[in-house]
Amino acid sequence: MEDDDGAELCFPQLLNTSCRKPTLPQSEAMLLNILVSSMSMLTVALNLLVIISVFHFRQLHTPTNILLLSLAVSDFLVGLLLMPGEILQQTSCWFLGDLVCSLYIYVGYIIPAASIGDMVLISVDRYVAICHPLHYTTRITVRRVKLCVCLCWFCSVFYSSFFLQYGVTQPDRYNSCYGECVVIAHYIAEAVDLVLSLFFPVTVIVVLYMRVFVVAVSQARAMRSHITAVTLQRTVTLTVKKSELKAARTLGVLVVVFLICLFPYYGVSLAGGNSLNTTSITFVINLFYLNSCLNPVIYAMFYPWFRKAVKLIVTLQILQPGSCEAKML
């Protein structure tokens, strides 16, 4: 059945309360389905390899890799849950009911918040490793990093619960009509969310990495000049391993790519999404999700241990006794 404007309804029997079906052309909807479905499967597969690698091989149980593991878990959930939900929202009506919609929205807030928290922790890890290398092993331990990761996820769950409980205009029912799954937040809540989930963490990330960049450049110049040490804060002589500098560059690429994919998504939120058409909104959302697929690709490009781990996993050598003790670094 169609409404007065000729648009098809999701639930024809509910003429006054049914949403309209998405108006994407069939060819565009099919292309979107293929692209996002492929990206979803690739994201799940690649991040699952990262998760198995860090979990299985004991030599990879380092503080930095624990942070990458947490990020891989959030990226895995993006590919497993959020991308399929985005396909359903953009190409079809929401037929899964209010409960699944509520869970989808809830998870949709938790995962990005956890990812941003992981990026902040990664920046702190690199800051201490490069700017205070003599204190790194005592300040950044596996136990402390695991605790920070747990706190990060706990805070993401708590913040998302608090925001959805008090920040939405329809606390008892998220959808404005039958056949869609959306949440409408107060403008004040949106402003607070942008500060807490974007401006503040991004500022911390940028400030820490600017400091890391300055120290890394100084170290590189010192190495080129055959100087074995440089004097930093308060005339304390520090040296940074080449491996730490390489890790800083790799994770710097990870952070930059994350920010490139993040800003358009929050830019749409800041603008309210009213000035963009459906295609543009779909693009920025999928660009944000694409970051979850790119992260393992970055690991494969810069981390030899990841390439070696993937080879052992794909060839099923990890099933052999004692494979967890394999030399990876």
pTM of the model as a whole: 0.87
Report pLDDT for 240.
58
How many folded domains does the chain comprise? 1
Residue 1 belongs to some domain of the structure: no
Question: Given pLDDT bands bounded at 50, 70 and 90, which one contains residue 238?
Answer: very low
Residue 54 belongs to some domain of the structure: yes
Q: Report residue 20: phi and psi, to 5°.
A: -85, 150
Residue 209 belongs to some domain of the structure: yes
Decide if pLDDT at 224 tops 70.
no
Decide if pLDDT at 5 tops 80.
no
Residue 11 belongs to some domain of the structure: no
- Nearest-angstrom CA–CA distance, 156 and 173: 22
Question: Given pLDDT bands bounded at 50, 70 and 90, which one contains residue 3?
Answer: low
CATH value at residue 61: 1.20.1070.10
Beta bridge partners of 8: 2
Containing structural domain, residue 301: 32-325
Instruction: Answer with the residue of higher pLDDT: 38 or 224.
Output: 38
Q: DSSP labels for 260-273? A: HHHHHHHHHHHHTT
Residue 22 belongs to some domain of the structure: no
Residue 132 belongs to some domain of the structure: yes
Report pLDDT for 43.
96
Where does residue 12 fall: left (phi above 0), alpha (psi -120 to 50 degrees), or beta otherwise? alpha
pLDDT digits (tens, 9 = 90+) for 80-129: 999 999 888 888 888 888 888 889 989 999 999 999 999 999 999 999 98
Residue 3 belongs to some domain of the structure: no
- Identify the residue whose tokens are 């390899």: 49
Query: For the residues 183-198, what does the mean pLDDT come to?
Result: 82
Residue 24 belongs to some domain of the structure: no
- Nearest-angstrom CA–CA distance, 51 and 184: 34
E strands present in the chain: 230-231, 237-238
| HSE-up (13 A, CA, CB side) for residue 11 | 15
